Amino acid sequence: MPKKTQLELDLPGLTPAEAAERLKKDTKPSLFPSFSSPLRGRGEETMAGRVTEDGFVVSPNDFGVRRVVATARGRFEETPTGTKVKVDISIPPGIIWLLRASYLMSIGAIGFVGYEVITAGEGVMVAGFLALFMVMATAATGWNVSSAEESIPLLAANVAKALTGPVREPEPQSESAPESDAEADLERLRRARAAAKQKI
């Protein structure tokens, strides 16, 4: 079975419209988010797709050879405290059916080749080309699905980050720095005593 990830995010204090605006800031508009394409153009956005106040369909903003990519489909639900976002991230169902269909057609084409060979028919060459084409189509579709599945975790992280905002890391504290005024005074006193002993 194809991989699938589900997210459920609570955004307290935000309306669905405000949540949608957050996501739009990191999403490049695209009519076909399930496919990467060089025609999208480069940009700083990590995702591409469609975002409205009701929901969204986004995918990684992949500027490369046209291929299938993972797709996140989500909806905004208003709650008494803010907005709840439910997201399903997976491969487009149509691509999975295309893979299954090409696989079955490849088996049929190979069987046709075997039949022509056994019966010494005249269509061996045609059947051979058909079988080769179907096997290559199945392999290409399978590669697309595998590649798209690898992008699911990153897409989930980008959606969550865009909606909730970056996590603020705590500022590192120097171990040698005093934690309070009392400790600072004690440190100064120790240095003064050490200096006095050196003079003696």
Which helix (H) or strand (E) is 190 found in, with range? helix 181-199
Res. 173 pLDDT band, cuts 50 70 90: very low
Looking at the domain assignment, is residue 76 inside a domain? yes
Looking at the domain assignment, is residue 53 inside a domain? yes
What type of residue sits at position 11?
Answer: L
Distance CA 34, CA 14 (A): 28
Q: Which residues are paired to 77 by β-bridges?
A: 84
Asked whether the beta carbons of 55 and 74 are under 8 A apart, the reply is yes
The pLDDT tens digits of the residues spanning 43-89 come to 678 888 899 999 999 988 875 555 677 889 999 999 999 999 999 99
When divided into structural domains, the chain yields a total of: 2
Say if residue 78 is in the same domain as residue 54: yes
Looking at the domain assignment, is residue 133 inside a domain? yes
Say if residue 14 is in the same domain as residue 99: no
Percentage of the chain modeled with pLDDT above 70: 65
Say if residue 28 is in the same domain as residue 108: no
Say if residue 42 is in the same domain as residue 82: yes
Mean pLDDT of 167-171: 42
Looking at the domain assignment, is residue 22 inside a domain? yes
Say if residue 119 is in the same domain as residue 85: no
The pLDDT tens digits of the residues spanning 83-127 come to 999 999 988 777 767 767 777 777 777 777 777 667 766 667 777
Say if residue 99 is in the same domain as residue 74: no
Say if residue 20 is in the same domain as residue 66: yes
Which residue range forms the structural domain that includes residue 43?
4-91+150-164
Least-confidence region, from 23-37, 50-64, 141-155, 176-190: 176-190
Looking at the domain assignment, is residue 197 inside a domain? no
Say if residue 85 is in the same domain as residue 157: yes
Say if residue 87 is in the same domain as residue 157: yes
Q: What is the pTM of this model?
A: 0.62
Say if residue 67 is in the same domain as residue 136: no
